[in-house]
Amino acid sequence: MKSIPLIAAFLLTAAPFASAKDCCRPRKCQPCAGRVTATQWYKAKDGTLREKIPYMQALSRAEDADDMEIALRGVEAELAAANEAVKAREEEIAALKTQLEEQVAATAAATDRATKAEAKVTEVSASLEKSVAEASAAAKARDDAKAALTKATEQVSKLTAEKEKMAAEIANATSEIERIKQEAVESKKVAVATEDYDADPPKDDEPKDEAPAEEEPAEDPKAE
């Protein structure tokens, strides 16, 4: 865009030279109505041919070019600011992208931990259910054993009572047998004494022996 003022300056300098050349030429008076101006051309710096324009027009274009250059500078400043903003936004986007990648990685790690934890919970739940089933079976076996123990205790108590009853009956029978034996012994002593008396009765002058007192049978301590 800086080439526009240079072109305008070239045009401004070219116009006086053209007019000086024209001054050196002999002028002929020609009617204005029939005057025809030849188009002049010049070669620009980019190698293209351009039409020469009048000085005032070139000056106006140069002023327009200056105004456009000022406006262009403002636009360039705005563009530079926009580029800086875009650059800052790109950096912010890059930071957000990095943060997002980190969050995705953290989420993946958390998901993996959650999956492992879920598997562990499932394993623990299965083990707990197995333990509950085993505890239920053990409780049932304990209840069965308790019932069997109660029944066995009742049977033992019953057998003990029967044993004590039989022991009492045996003791009574033993005491009765001892009493009968004692009575038999006493009866035998009386019979023997009677037989002896009958075989050899005492004479009248002989003192009569007092008959032995009948001994009472001894009490069997077991009968008590």
Instruction: Using a pLDDT cut of 90, give the percent of the chain over it.
Output: 18
Give the bridge partners for 51, in sequence order. 41
DSSP string over 72-95: HHHHHHHHHHHHHHHHHHHHHHHH
pLDDT band with cut points at 50, 70 and 90 for residue 215: low
Handedness of CA 71, 76, 81, 83 (dihedral sign): positive
Cβ-contact 10, 46 below 8 angstroms: no
pLDDT in tens, 141-153: 989 998 998 988 9
- The predicted-structure confidence for 42-82, as pLDDT tens digits, reads as follows 788 888 888 887 778 777 877 788 888 888 888 889 999 99
The tokens describing 146, both together, are 């308790």
Q: What is the pLDDT of residues 73-132, one digit of tens each?
A: 888 899 999 999 999 999 999 999 999 999 999 999 999 999 999 899 998 999 988 889
The predicted pLDDT at position 54 comes to 79
pLDDT reported for residue 104: 93
What is the tens place of the pLDDT at every residue in 179-197?
Answer: 888 888 888 777 777 766 6
pLDDT of res. 204 = 57
pTM of structure:
0.32
Q: For the purposes of burial, counting CB atoms within 10 Å of the CB of 192, is it exposed (0-12), middle (13-18) or buried (19 or more)?
A: exposed
Q: What pLDDT does residue 199 have?
A: 64
